[in-house]
Amino acid sequence: MPKIVDHDQRRKEIVEVTWQFIAREGIEKLNLRDLAAAAGYANGAFKPYFPTRDALLVATFNFVAEATNRRIQKSAGGLFGLEAIEAFAREVLPLDELRRSEARIAVHFWHLALGDPKLAEVNAATMDNWRALLDSWLGQMFSDEDMRVPMARDSMINFLMGAQVGSVLDATVNTVALLEQQLKYQLDLLATLNQ
């Protein structure tokens, strides 16, 4: 009797191995043959699930973005305004090894997305989701007509993305303690706008 394979579970396993590999080794070293060997699969075993390297990279970035979004929903769910924004930011900021690894994935992915419109669309969808969340929470602090809402939203997203890049490229300066101080500064600015 042939072995029954859970294809969704197999896809998930492949993506988990991939994101851990990229976080540890970098994207330059990623090739499907070596990745299959590292995961304990035969050469070519990934092809039915991810026919190209780019398909695997998109799935990996989506996996990391979805994991972050689940944490955001859990942490910020039920919170309002500035408290929700702080909870959101703490799930994105690279404040522990998991989130630093996710930042490494994001930075590698952004590099590839610069030259590939399909990959850029995947990133844009994540950013659109984050903008919508921030708009909602900022809308609880400011009136809908307040022109500071888009500026505050985009400043927070740029801070978070910059912190991810900084933690990957300049980790000795962008320590957890300094990121915490920078977040407090950002939140204090928002609080003063709300007075």
Structural domains of the chain, with CATH: 7-193 (1.10.357.10)
pLDDT in tens, 28-63: 777 777 777 777 777 777 778 888 888 888 888 888
Reported as a pLDDT band with limits 50, 70 and 90, residue 104 is confident
Q: What is the pLDDT of residue 5?
A: 63
Alpha-carbon gap, residue 113 to 172, rounded angstroms? 26
Q: What is the pLDDT of residue 24?
A: 80
Amino acid identity, residue 112? L
Alpha-carbon gap, residue 194 to 138, rounded angstroms? 10
pLDDT in tens, 155-172: 999 999 999 999 988 888
For residue 147, give both structure tokens. Answer: 């022109």
Rg over alpha carbons for the chain, rounded to the nearest Å, is 19
